[in-house]
Each structure stands twice: as C-alpha cells, then as structure tokens.
Structure 1
Amino acid sequence: MVLTARQRDELNQAIHQYLLISYQQSAQLFKTEAAVKDGQIEADLLEKKWNSIVRLSKRVITLEQQVEQLNEQLAQAQAGKIQFNKSDDEQRLTPIEKFKLEGHRAGVNCVAFHPQYQILGSASDDGSIKLWDYESGHFEKTLKGHTSNVNCLAFDPTGKYICSASSDLSIKIWELKNHTCVKTLIGHEHSVSTVQFSDHGDFILSASRDKNIKLWEVATGFCKKTFSEHQEWVRCAVFSNDEKQIASCSQDQMIYIWVIDSGQVLHQLSGHEHVVEQVKYIPEHGAKQILTQQQQQNIQTINLLVSVSRDKEIKIWNTILGTNLFTLSGHDNWVNGVSFHPDGVHMLSVSDDKTIRVWNLKEQKQKKKIENAHDKFILKCEINKFIFATCSVDQTIKLWLLS
C-alpha cells in the first residue's frame, strides 16, 4: 500500500516521537534524514497503532476461522445433514459483556463511537468527557471545560472533532488531535439536551430545554436557523436519512417532523402518553426490509423513525405519511434509548428497568432480554459494527460483543 504524503509525514512524526523516549541520538538522525516536520502528535501514537494492528490481526484470524466453520456448516446444510432453527438467531444476537469502564464520578448520560478509530467517548453529570480505547477497555483522556452536566456527545464524520452539549447552556467543539476546545457555541437559554453532526460535518443540530432546536454552521459557529413549536423541553433532535427533514421529541409528549429549508412543521405525531426521550431514524437498508413492496411504492427516500418514551413503549413511524406503523411493548419502566444492529432489522433498547432488549423490527416482536445489565437505570446505548455500548446512572459504561 502506498502512503499519501500526509500519511507519510504522520508516520515519520510518530516514529520520531517513539525514538525520542529512549533513543535521542537516533531520533535526531532520523529527523534529519526523514525531514520530519515539527508538530504536535501523541507521544505513544506508534505504540497505539502497533497494538491496534496486533488486535486486528487476531480478529482477522478469528474471523477466518469462523468463515471456515460457517462454510463447513453451509456445505452440510446444502447436503441436508444439518438444519438451522430460530434459536440459533436468538443466540447470535445475545450481547456478551466484554468490559466495564469505570472512572466517572456521576451518572453517564451518553456514549459515542469514533467513526474510524477504536475510541469511545462518554459524557457525564460530573461535567467531564472521557475517551476510552474500546478494543482494550483502557482509559485514554479526560476533556474538561464544561461547568455543568455534559448531556450528549457526537463525533463529526471525519473523526477530527467531537461536539458536546451541556447544562451550562453551551455547545463545545473539541479537536481530538490536541484534545482542546476550538469553539464554544452560545445561543440556547437553558440546558442543551442533544447534539448531532450532519453527514458532511458542515452543520450541528442541537435540542434544548429552552423549547428550541438550533442549526449551527460549524465553520463560523453561527446559528443559521431556530425551530420553535414545542411547548416543553426538547429532549432530542435528529437529521433524517436524506437530511431534508428533522425529527424532534419533547417533554410535551409530541414528535415533530420539520422541513429544514422552510423551517415549517410537516407532521405532528402524537400517541405517546408520557415524555418522549429519544427519536432515531432507522437506517434505510433496514427500513426497506420492514416495509412491504406496496408500502415502498412512490417513496424516493424511506424515512422510518423510532421513538422511545417514559410510557414504556417504543413506536415506529412513517415520517413521510405521518403515521404510526406499529408499537413495541415489553419494558417495565421508562425506555431511554435505542440503537440498530448492522443487519438493519434488529434493534436494541435500554431502559430504567435495567434490561437490554433485542427486537426484530420485521417481525415486530422481542427476541431477547438481558436482565440486570447495569446496577441502576440504563440511559443510552450505541452500536459500532459488533460492539454495543451502554451507559448508566451507576456511573459505568459497559461494552458488549454482538455476533
């Protein structure tokens, strides 16, 4: 593989930093010969990259063995020697606890995966943001700057920045390379509940207890548009799959679908009987498997939305038509968050009942329940390929393996 000029410079800087620790003369010779440019780079970056390569090599070997086993099973199945049943699918979807991450001094409100590297971010009521290596379970760095609870985190698509929302009324943008805050966005008049980057990283969407949703331009830090219709605290706001719409949910028990260009409300979705905690769009490849061919007719972009509520229910909505497709019931307490399995059909949810539940959206039913996944209320969850992260009032983050 041929490195780009930038990649070569970063590699040379990492080698130089590594040599500086124990081999100063060699480091100076290498700097001269390789024309290493001065710049800030993590001192242990080369070791981290090497450890990543070792872990990935082991993972590749494991996956190759699994592929070989599956090929053998497939050959046997085609020969009629074995048969698969539904229990195999349920076993495959069972989360297996890998790591328990401890370090926060208060409840953990949010977790977010880096889009490229094995970094997990966590936000807490202790006012801090922590970065973890989710492959090893090791703590990496604490980001401090907020003066109150940090409620939400989001990485930009390039992985260069992380954005945080806080009860101190501000949104901060942090540069990961130097772990420094490069912008603070001020404009909300109460706690900021959630933040999300657009797919290209040009904009940030925020929701607040001041009943407003704001669209911010990352380059300038200016608020480009404010959406105001909710009557109570806006708990969450997210971009649709095509980024032409926004979905928001509130303490007023309503879900609004907004047209971004006009700023107008397209649909008001009612049906929940308590605070709606989170909304999330189902990935399009999953939505296509849920809708029938007839339901997909004349729809260019399929925007199906999931909402979770303190009424213990999960609802799936067609946001183009503004209709409720079906409701999932099973949790025994407030439902706080959901995340989607890579297959697009299965969804995991977390709740104040301390359980993790696995749902088949196509079959519209629960497939698995993990009891006492945390000691206290589980607040949010996220999936990155086959790593599932949960965070809780018990001040911990747990990482689970999915197959």
Structure 2
Amino acid sequence: MKFNYKFHNLLGTVYRKGDILFTNDGNCIVSPVGNKITVYNLKQNKSNTLAVESNFNYTAVDISPNGSVLLAVNEKGEAQMISLITCTVIHRYKFKQQVNAVKFSPDGKYFAACCSDTVFIMTAPCSFTGEYRSFVMKRVFKKSHDEVTCLDWSTCSKLLAVGSKDTTTKIYTVDYLDNLNMYSLSGHTDKIVGTFFEKKSLDLITVSRNGQVCLWEANLDSDELVVSEVQISHRKRRRIQKEEESDDDIDEKNVIEKEKEDESEDEDKVKVEIKEDDEKRLHYKKLGRHYIGDAIRNAHHKVRLSAAQYHKDTKMLVTGFTNGIFFLHEMPDVNLVHTLSISEHRISSIAMSPQGDWIGFGCPNIGQLLVWEWQSEQYVMKQQGHSLDMTCLAYSPDGLYIVTGGFDGKVKVWNTTSGFCFVTFNEHKSTVTSVVFSANKKFFVSSSLDGTVRCYDLTRYRNFRTLTSPSLVQFSCAALDGSSELCAAGGQDVFDIYIWSVKFGKLLDVLGGHEAPVSCLAFSPALASSKLASASWDKTIRLWNCLETSSTCEPIQLTSDALQVAFKPDGDEIAVSTLDGNISFFNATTGDQSGSIEGRNDLGAGRSDTDLVTPEKMLKTKAFTTICYSADGSCILGGGNSKHVCLYSVKEAVLIRKFVITQNRSLDAVNDFINRRLLTEFGNMALVEERTDFEGGDVSVRLPGVRQGDMADRKVKPEVRVHCVRFSPTGESFAVAATEGLLVYSQNAGIDGTFRPYRLEMGSTPYAVRQLLREGSWGPALIGSLQLNEHSVITECVEAVPATDIELTVASLDDDYTDRLLNSIARLLEDSRHLEHLLLWVKALITVTKRKFPPSVLLALEKVLTVKYSQLSKICDFNKYTIRCIKTVGELVPKRENMEVDDASDHSSGRGTFSDSD
C-alpha cells in the first residue's frame, strides 16, 4: 500500500470570515475558510481548496487585474502574495497590525492596504513597471483620526478614496499632483462602510453604517489631473547643474546674471500657475444624501448596515445589513430594484461578478455562502457548513459521498467529486453522535443525544424510519450489520445496547451487561455474520451474536476505558483504543490479544494558552478517540485531541506517517509550548480576563472543564481536535472531521510530479514505449507504461490500442498488471472523452481474465461509473424528450398541410358551383 497521502480538499467549511470576491472571468468565487482559501467554480459545480496555509485566519483578500496573483492577509497582518497559476506563495510581508482592506489598482501597478489609521501604497509585480518584487513601499498616509475601514481606486489609478471610522472620506494620490494634495469629505454621522468611485470619473459614492448614502460630484475629470511641478523643477535643476559642470568656458558673471533672470521668470510663472491652479483644483460637491436603512431601523433599532458593494458598469449598489437583509439600488437615482432576506444573521461581505449579474454574500455566524442572480431571482449557489464542530463522518460504500453529523444536530451529505453539500437533514434536536452507511448504499443511519436513531433514504432524501427505545436514552453510537437489516445503538446514560429491525422498525432485543456508558459499536463486515463488538468505559469489550437467542457473552478485560472499536475489513480482527493511549488488537473469534501499539507520545502535547500543566503531564492525558482500518486492513489510522493524525502498520506496530492537519494559531492547543510573550512577571497573561462595556462584556477565559457547547456564552478560541477519521472504501483517500472542517487527503493530489515506478527494467523508457506503439506491439508497450507508472504514458497506450485488439492484449498481461491497469482506467474515466473505448477495456479485463479483483479497485471503478451515469442520464433524457417533441411536430405538419389542401379544394369547388347556378 502506498502512503503518499496529501491534502486534497476541504469540505464542511464554506466561509469563516473576511472578504469574498469573484475571479476576473466571473465563473469562480473565492472564499477564505479559516487559514485556507477555497475557490468555488460556479460553471463546473466544483470546489477546490488551495494547498496554501497561513498561520492565522485570512481576513482580507484581493485578485490582481490580470487574474494571476492573489493577495491574502491574515488577522495578524501577515500578507502572502499567492500565484494562482502555480498555487504557491511567491512573497511574504508583515504589516505588524491587522489589515482591514486591501485592493489592487485597476492598472495593476500598485495595491493599497489600510491598517489602523494608516494607508500603505505598495508596488505590485507587474510587467508595466518592470518591478517584479512585491511589497515595495510607494507612499504612506497617516491622516485619519480613527481606524480606516474601506478603500477604492479611481479608474485612472491616480486617486485613492479611503473611508474611516471618524465618519470622513479622504482622497489620497499615488503621485504628487498639482490639482490635489489631500481632500477630505465629511457629511456622514457614522463610520464609513463603503466608498466607491464612478467608472471613468472622479465622482464618489459613500455609504455609512447607519444607512446613509452620499453622492459627490467632482469638478474635474481624471484627464485634467496634472503631475506636480515639484518633481519637474528638480529635474530641471539637475540638468542645469550638469550643463554648468560641462561648460567650463562660461563666465561666472554671466552665470549669475542668467540665474537671476531665471529666478525672476520662475517667480512670474509661479504666480500665474497659482492663479490657474485655483481654477483647476479638484473640488467635490454633495449632490444628495439618501437614507436607505430607515425602514429596517424603525422596526429594529439595533440593525446596522454591515457591508456594501458597487458595480461600476451597471451602476448597481448592494448593501447588506446585520439582520440578513440586502438591498439592491440603481444609482445615481437610488431606485430600489430588489430586496431579499437571505438569513437571520449578519452579512459581513458582498461581492459582485464582473458582468454584474451575480451577487455573492458571506455570513460568518452560520458559515453561509450564497450567490444570487438578481435578474432571474434564483440561487446560483447556496452552501452552508455546520454552525458548530463536526462529530462524526461516514463514507458511502463506493466512496462517492460523505455523510457528516455535528453538534448543531444537522446531518449533511457531501459529494466528494464536486465538494458541495447537496442535502441537509434537520430532524435531530441535539448532537449527532454517529453516522453509518448501509452496505447497499441506499440509506444511512444516525444516532443522537435526543434519544432517537434515524434512517435516511438517499433516493427520496427523507427520514423514512425513526427508531426509539421504551424509555428515553441518549444514544452515543450506532452500527449496521452487513445485510443492512439490523441496527444497534448504545446508550450513554443507560448502559444497554438496543437492536432494531430496519425493515419493520421494531425493537428486537436489549443487550445488557456493561456497567458504564457504551462508547462504540461495530458489526462484523462479513455479510453472513451478525457478530457485534461493543466498547465501554467499564474497561471491557464484549462480542455479541445478535441472531442467537442467548445474549450472554464473555467480556474481554482491558487496562483502561475503551473509547473506540473497529473491525478489520475481513472480520477476523478487532482494534480497540483505550484511555491510556494504546491501541490493542484482538482475535474476533477467540478473543485473544494479537498485538498492541503505544501511541500516546505520537499525538503531541498540544498545550492550550490557559493550561497550567506542563507538556510532560499533558502527554499522559492524550488518547486516540477515533480509529479506523485501511481498505486492505494492513494499516490503522488514529486521531484524538491533537493536531496530529497517525498512520500505523498493524503487522509491525510502528508509526508509518504523521499528518499535521493544521498550523492555524487562531485555534487553541496548536503549539506544544506556551508563547513566551504571554509570560510576564505577573504570570500568564492569557489567564487574565478582558472585560469591556462597563465590566460586563466579552470574557476570553473559558470555564473549568467546559469543552463544547456555548462555553457559557464566553468568546474563546476553539481548540484543535480530531473528532473522527475514516478511510475511503477505495483506499485512495481518507477524511478527517476536525475543528476546521472536513479535510480530505488523497493519493492522487499532486501525483503527476512524483515518479513511482513498478518493476522497472532497463528498457522501460517513454521512448521505448512509443517505439513499440509505432511497431504495433500493444502488449509490450502497455507493460512498459505500467512499469513506468506515468499517467500520461498509460493514457497514450490505452487509447492507441485498437478496439479489436483489446481482448488479445489483456490476455497477455499478468495478474499484477491487470490490477494496476484497471485502477488506471478508473482514473482515466474521470476526465477522458473516450468513454466507449475505456468501457471496452473494462469489459475485457473482467471477462477475459476471469479473476477476482481487489475490492478497492472495483469500488473505485464503481464510483467513477456512477458519476458518469448520472452525467450522461441527464443528457440522454433531454435528447430523448427533444427527439420525441420533434417527432410529434413532424407528424403534425403533414396533417396540417393535408387539411389546408382539403380546405382549398372545398373552397375552389364551392366557387365553381356558385358560378354555374348564377
């Protein structure tokens, strides 16, 4: 088994906080998700998380006008210049304070960043300026009396409008201009939320937090802005000095006289220029003030305008409020075009596509991201993650779907191919503790602390069965047997195991024997087996046979409380993680222990800012709260209250690889040691409560022992934790449900740049393979490409073999090569257009070889064929109904022509009789 797993995608977290924006083509929307950035392709219906990670959460992002560079700044002021072509960081810079907004100039030469009361203008890597270094300081402005909130560039890239909390908007210049030094606009009574220049004009629109919109008219055009003569005069003086140094024959008296004449002429020019400057100096006139938020504020006094965006081409102004309502106005008449309530929470960021037809909204409180088409009044995309942490996850048998449950009581189904959530179930009223997929892929089961176990149908997307106990029980775990007919759930407050029939919904049996909460249940994967393993906090695991009349069983004693139990895919072995940090392996038939792994030290200390315990003591509290076998059963994956996920070999009981799921220091317990900057002579400053609003406001210190829930309404840093890990049935990927969301690690992520040959020989080269293809030696060429294990070379060989020679080529391959070839064809089916040709390969591999392929390879093939079937079925249905419509119209046309001919003949015959009678 290969272990080159890399980060592939982030699901479950759609939007955290910060700016959202559209790409220059308008097909994608960029959303910051914690310390990562996700790009949602609205045309292809796919999401992709960039393999770039920051040390803190991103808050301000912007894309250069050419669309090749992304500027992202986190909440600590650390900026990254990211190339969207290579998806790598090309430059870094530290502003040393929080950045409220960043924006590139329209010509791409500069970008502006506002920090506190300061505005920085820096050069950007651009071919126009010839400067390929980033973050070269151009100008610095520190003229605001309060924090700067927003900014915008003029179309000519000469002026910069900056809004501030001091209710003023100031105009800054990139170069020194004669017409303008600095201009300040005042007229609002609250902080400025948005300021926008008109297209190809210096007219301004400013929006404040209390819903006021002011229109400003400039008396000058952008073409009338003149570069200051200060720089030109300096150039003239330097040129005169050079001429004086070169001309040694000139008399000193003549030079003095010339200088006096020049000075007198300069004085006269300055007087004339001052008079002309007074006439051509930039002035702004207020055209009007509009109150767009009065209707909302009269109903709700605490509602404020929280975000604004303006589209310069269509002259549309979008404003969002703290109660989830947005307005769309047409400027400059401020005519209300559309209004809609998208949620009940604050809209923190708004973006408009370059075409002006799509509007994006970000709501950080519930993690919601919406794209609305205002002309047709339809949702282009509506995605929302779990409002609280995920608690559990489960893969579908073919690996196409992932089901997640969370502390918010919601159950969501995600498509691993597109990365989107396509259905959400809200039936549970409390925390979802476990989700399990059925073996037939038709339904899944979830258990919750609300005392119910619910079955969901994936065909009709409904809750078709609700399983309950005679008395109210908080279910902490659930399991389904191999036949998908029996469902078992364990209690947290009542230490019994309940078994139901999924078909009839009746309670079949209650298994008692545990003396502590049942932490985990697992059925044997074998189809004919009904063996059930249960783990409990009473330091025992029990093996039950659910089909027998007697429910007694022999317990297996452990050294500590059992946290998780998992069956090996063949059903012969079980693995149990305990509170002392060990993973023990037992024979499923005899109950004898076959091995053990001590992995407490591999998880890391993960010390919180407010912990008083040393890292050595913290290691003793670490344990694997979730474990999972790999698809072939050779490895086991484990995670817990740590940022590490450990992959172990079952046979050798050694650590193979350790995955670090995040480096986000906005989360707690990421570092193993406390930051020394927090340690002062008064002790740890993180233990000091910071109160505001007359000593009754936000408190940053959590209550002792509180790790989940509302934290007693205290604002705290979330702690990094791994709640659940699961391997894909195909073995190509695994998923981690952590504090940051659902992280998917795949072997195919970035695989094209790695060289991993198989049984490589001296003659196995790409040139030799292509030479064999020219000669028509399909079998040796295919074997050589499989030995190289290069995806492009295998694709070339598979597509070059004629359809008539496929069966003969397959018959000449060994068993090992057929397995790898079928796996490669499954990858080819994802993006290739030669669907029929590849299906002929699949048919030949299955029928000619007549061997039993590994389940992981067949599951990968099933996953791809399911996606292709769903894509082609829509096209076929559309074509079928179109052909039926054309056929019906074609049958009606001759009938109509015949009716017209009959009417014409009747009319002509009628005219003839009339004439005869006449």
TM-score over 0.5 for the pair: yes
Residue 339 of structure 1: aligned partner: 628
Residue 257 of structure 1: aligned partner: 543
Cα distance in 2 for partners of 1:105, 1:195 equals 23
Cα distance in 2 for partners of 1:265, 1:370 equals 41
Cα distance in 2 for partners of 1:181, 1:398 equals 27
Pick closer, same or farther for the CA change 1:264–1:123 going to 2, 3 Å. Answer: same
Q: What is the percent sequence identity of the aligned residues?
A: 19
Matched, 1:236 2:505: no
Residue type of the partner of 2:722?
Answer: I
Residue 382 of structure 1: aligned partner: 726
Matched, 1:391 2:737: yes
Name which of 478, 481, 484 aligns with 1:195.
Answer: 478
Residue 45 of structure 1: aligned partner: none
Pick closer, same or farther for the CA change 1:338–1:138 going to 2, 3 Å. Answer: same
Cα distance in 1 for partners of 2:740, 2:452 equals 23
Please list the CA deviations of residues 334-385 of structure 1 after superposition, one character each: whole Å capped at 9, or x if unmatched: 2011222223211211121221111111112111111345851101111112
Displacement, 1:269? 1.3
Pick closer, same or farther for the CA change 1:201–1:378 going to 2, 3 Å. Answer: same
Residue 456 of structure 2: aligned partner: 174
Please list the CA deviations of residues 15-65 of structure 1 after superposition, one character each: whole Å capped at 9, or x if unmatched: xxxxxxxxxxxxxxxxxxxxxxxxxxxxxxxxxxxxxxxxxxxxxxxxxxx
Residue 584 of structure 2: aligned partner: 315
Residue type of the partner of 1:245?
Answer: K
Pick closer, same or farther for the CA change 1:163–1:94 going to 2, 3 Å. Answer: same
Displacement, 1:266? 3.0
Residue 897 of structure 2: aligned partner: none
Matched, 1:158 2:440: yes
Counterpart mapping for 1:22-171 below 5 A: 92-101=2-11, 102=13, 103-116=385-398, 118-171=400-453
Cα distance in 2 for partners of 1:359, 1:225 equals 37
Please list the CA deviations of residues 86-144 of structure 1 after superposition, one character each: whole Å capped at 9, or x if unmatched: xxx7xx31431111121111121111112246211100010000111112222222111
Pick closer, same or farther for the CA change 1:319–1:147 going to 2, 3 Å. Answer: same
Cα distance in 2 for partners of 1:163, 1:244 equals 17
Residue 642 of structure 2: aligned partner: 353
Residue 175 of structure 2: aligned partner: none
Residue type of the partner of 2:734?
Answer: F
Name which of 362, 378, 384 aligns with 2:651.
Answer: 362
Residue type of the partner of 1:255?
Answer: I
SS for the counterpart of 2:447 is strand
Indicate if the aligned counterparts of 1:303 and 1:318 stay in contact, CA closer than 8 A: yes
SS for the counterpart of 1:195 is strand
Counterpart mapping for 1:187-226 below 5 A: 187=469, 189-209=472-492, 210-226=494-510
Indicate if the aligned counterparts of 2:449 and 2:474 stay in contact, CA closer than 8 A: yes
TM-score of the two chains, using structure 2 as the length reference: 0.31
Displacement, 1:328? 0.4
Residue 746 of structure 2: aligned partner: 401
Please list the CA deviations of residues 315-347 of structure 1 after superposition, one character each: whole Å capped at 9, or x if unmatched: 101132222222101234120112222232112
SS for the counterpart of 2:554 is strand
Residue type of the partner of 1:388?
Answer: F
Indicate if the aligned counterparts of 1:110 and 1:152 stay in contact, CA closer than 8 A: yes
Please list the CA deviations of residues 197-244 of structure 1 after superposition, one character each: whole Å capped at 9, or x if unmatched: 221111112112111111110111001111100011101111224424
Which entry has the higher C-alpha Rg, 1 or 2? 2
Residue 287 of structure 1: aligned partner: none
Indicate if the aligned counterparts of 1:345 and 1:362 stay in contact, CA closer than 8 A: yes
SS for the counterpart of 1:266 is coil
Residue type of the partner of 1:304?
Answer: E
Please list the CA deviations of residues 283-308 of structure 1 after superposition, one character each: whole Å capped at 9, or x if unmatched: 22xxxxxxxxxxxxxxxxx6211001
Residue type of the partner of 1:100?
Answer: L
Cα distance in 2 for partners of 1:391, 1:277 equals 17
Cα distance in 2 for partners of 1:178, 1:356 equals 36
Indicate if the aligned counterparts of 2:481 and 2:525 stay in contact, CA closer than 8 A: no
Indicate if the aligned counterparts of 1:227 and 1:263 stay in contact, CA closer than 8 A: no
Cα distance in 1 for partners of 2:636, 2:390 equals 22
Cα distance in 1 for partners of 2:483, 2:440 equals 8
Indicate if the aligned counterparts of 1:388 and 1:402 stay in contact, CA closer than 8 A: no
Cα distance in 2 for partners of 1:151, 1:356 equals 20
Name which of 299, 303, 306 aligns with 2:575.
Answer: 306
Indicate if the aligned counterparts of 1:108 and 1:395 stay in contact, CA closer than 8 A: no
Indicate if the aligned counterparts of 2:583 and 2:599 stay in contact, CA closer than 8 A: no
Displacement, 1:189? 2.9
Gaps of 5+ in 2: 14-384, 604-621, 668-719, 749-918
Displacement, 1:265? 3.6
Indicate if the aligned counterparts of 2:415 and 2:421 stay in contact, CA closer than 8 A: yes
SS for the counterpart of 1:316 is strand
SS for the counterpart of 1:141 is strand
SS for the counterpart of 1:367 is strand
Cα distance in 2 for partners of 1:395, 1:230 equals 35
The higher-RCO structure (CA 8 Å, 6+ apart) is 1
Pick closer, same or farther for the CA change 1:356–1:150 going to 2, 3 Å. Answer: same
SS for the counterpart of 1:168 is coil
Cα distance in 1 for partners of 2:598, 2:499 equals 33
Indicate if the aligned counterparts of 1:357 and 1:368 stay in contact, CA closer than 8 A: yes
TM-score of the two chains, using structure 1 as the length reference: 0.69
Gaps of 5+ in 1: 1-88, 285-301
Displacement, 1:395? 5.2
Residue 6 of structure 1: aligned partner: none
Pick closer, same or farther for the CA change 1:259–1:199 going to 2, 3 Å. Answer: closer
RMSD: 1.9
Indicate if the aligned counterparts of 1:105 and 1:395 stay in contact, CA closer than 8 A: no
Residue type of the partner of 1:402?
Answer: Q
Higher strand share goes to which structure? Answer: 1
Q: Deviating runs (4+, > 6 A) in structure 1?
A: none
* Pairs aligned (count): 294
Greater mean deviation of Cα atoms: 226-235 or 175-184:
175-184
Cα distance in 2 for partners of 1:379, 1:335 equals 10
Residue 276 of structure 1: aligned partner: 562
Cα distance in 2 for partners of 1:308, 1:238 equals 13
Pick closer, same or farther for the CA change 1:198–1:319 going to 2, 3 Å. Answer: closer
SS for the counterpart of 1:146 is coil
Indicate if the aligned counterparts of 2:482 and 2:525 stay in contact, CA closer than 8 A: no
SS for the counterpart of 2:553 is strand
Greater mean deviation of Cα atoms: 99-108 or 364-373:
364-373
Residue type of the partner of 2:644?
Answer: T
Cα distance in 1 for partners of 2:599, 2:7 equals 22
Cα distance in 1 for partners of 2:747, 2:637 equals 11
Residue type of the partner of 2:642?
Answer: D
Cα distance in 2 for partners of 1:116, 1:321 equals 32
